Amino acid sequence: MNQPNGIITNMTGLTITNIHKSYGDTLALQGISFTVPVGKIVVLLGPSGCGKSTLLEIIAGLEEPEEGSCAWNGEPLADVPSHKRGFGLMFQDYALFPHKNVGDNIAFGLKMSGWDAEKSKQRVEEILDLVGLPTCAPRDVTTLSGGEQQRVALARSLAPQPRLLMLDEPLGSLDRTLRERLMGELREILSKMGQTALYVTHDQVEAFTMADQVVVMKDGTVAQIGTPQEIYKHPNSSFVARFLGLNNLLPGQARETPTGALVSTSLGEWAIPQRVSGEVTILLRPDSVNIGPGPSHHLKGTLTKRSFSGNTYRVTVNVQGTALRFDFPSSIPNLPDKGQTITLSFDPQSALQVLVR
């Protein structure tokens, strides 16, 4: 909302409120609500089929919700056609024009938006420099590598200065090594520009690298919203924990005590600080245990799997018939070999969390 002096007083960004969408008997979205603040990167994270892309289409104006609303800076978007929303889209396949060179690909959206030729040329040069391709304007796009094509697609999306940039699995077609390098660069570019962005991915590492805030989706609903650190350290359900690869989940029975609760599981009875009672699910964090006996609780089992990934060892330990997975730094000196007995110690205050089943 603008006042007469031109000062913007309601820079709330994108607001999604109670969005519902179905296709026949299939519920694609059920009561989705969240915000994308101006200048922030919000990532929609979830498995395939959870409704991420459908939600993007509704925000872009390509689909209509059956219920709920989208607004930009408090102004409803329901009656604003897609091409007038000022939003940009970037997809996994880039959709570059093979018959146009790099500069013409980037300038296409500017031309359609009515930019004059000289201003458009300056913008193309500016945006190519930003994405690290300052001399590539005359190049044929078919001669570019996958990473270069991704940057050109990003440059084309950013050139018209969209109010909101939506990115749908933009790195999905690249190999892992290139993805890991480019996601950091992409984050840096968007942050440097102060670009408001909504980013869709099914990859946890990608989401955590890119996001100021993560919206975890499950079956067309919002499962959890928080910063990457909050969601990883405090998943609010078994679904979120498993999706993040935190699979050490144990059913238990809790009873309250003066200092918290005592939880009985198949692997032992542990005191936790939360005041809960009844049936619970306990998460034993894979990064919060030590090798060897300690002053607090411990478990003993057989190391059944061990893999090396440079910085860490990932091991699987069979404890009384339950497979538990843990991560240890590669510099650890006393890691047993496969098939050997291993003793693990942990502090329940930091290593155990109660989750919603």
User: What mean pLDDT is predicted for residues 331-341?
Assistant: 90
Structural domain includes residue 6: no
Range of the domain at 134: 14-242
Last residue of a domain, one of 242, 260, 291: 242
41 or 276: which leads in pLDDT: 41
Domain of 250: which CATH number? 2.40.50.140
Last residue of a domain, one of 242, 270, 287: 242
68 and 188 part of one domain: yes
User: Of 171, 212, 214, 206, which is closest to residue 194 (Cα–Cα)?
Assistant: 212
For residues 195 and 167, is the Cβ–Cβ distance under 8 A? Answer: no
For residues 127 and 189, is the Cβ–Cβ distance under 8 A? Answer: no
Q: Tokens for 170?
A: 């933009």
31 and 113 part of one domain: yes
Predicted local distance difference test score (pLDDT) of residue 275: 86
pLDDT band at 1 (very low <50, low <70, confident <90, very high): very low
User: What mean pLDDT is predicted for residues 142-164?
Assistant: 90
- The yes-or-no verdict on residue 6 having pLDDT over 70 is no
Predicted local distance difference test score (pLDDT) of residue 8: 45
Structural domain includes residue 215: yes
Q: Is 339 left (phi over 0), alpha (psi -120 to 50) or beta?
A: left
User: What mean pLDDT is predicted for residues 68-74?
Assistant: 96
235 and 250 part of one domain: no
28 and 177 part of one domain: yes
- The yes-or-no verdict on residue 20 having pLDDT over 80 is yes
Structural domain includes residue 218: yes
Predicted local distance difference test score (pLDDT) of residue 357: 58
Domain of 68: which CATH number? 3.40.50.300
Among 63-67, 118-122, 230-234, 291-295, the least confident range: 291-295
Sign of CA dihedral 322, 328, 330, 331: negative
What is the chain's mean pLDDT, rounded?
A: 90
pLDDT band at 194 (very low <50, low <70, confident <90, very high): very high
Q: Rounded CA gap, 306 and 35, in Å?
A: 42
For residues 45 and 217, is the Cβ–Cβ distance under 8 A? Answer: yes
User: What mean pLDDT is predicted for residues 91-101?
Assistant: 83
Task: Report the domain count for the chain.
Answer: 2
Structural domain includes residue 9: no
232 and 250 part of one domain: no
For residues 299 and 268, is the Cβ–Cβ distance under 8 A? Answer: yes
Q: Tokens for 354?
A: 């109660």
Structural domain includes residue 230: yes
Structural domain includes residue 181: yes
Structural domain includes residue 188: yes
User: What mean pLDDT is predicted for residues 279-299?
Assistant: 88
Last residue of a domain, one of 223, 242, 261: 242
220 and 272 part of one domain: no
**Count of all residues that appear for the chain in the document:** 357
Q: Rounded CA gap, 5 and 2, in Å?
A: 8
219 and 252 part of one domain: no
For residues 302 and 339, is the Cβ–Cβ distance under 8 A? Answer: yes
pLDDT band at 11 (very low <50, low <70, confident <90, very high): confident
237 and 282 part of one domain: no
User: What mean pLDDT is predicted for residues 280-307?
Assistant: 90
61 and 203 part of one domain: yes
Structural domain includes residue 4: no
Q: Which residue has the tokens 């969209």?
A: 162
pTM: 0.88
- The yes-or-no verdict on residue 167 having pLDDT over 90 is yes
For residues 198 and 42, is the Cβ–Cβ distance under 8 A? Answer: yes
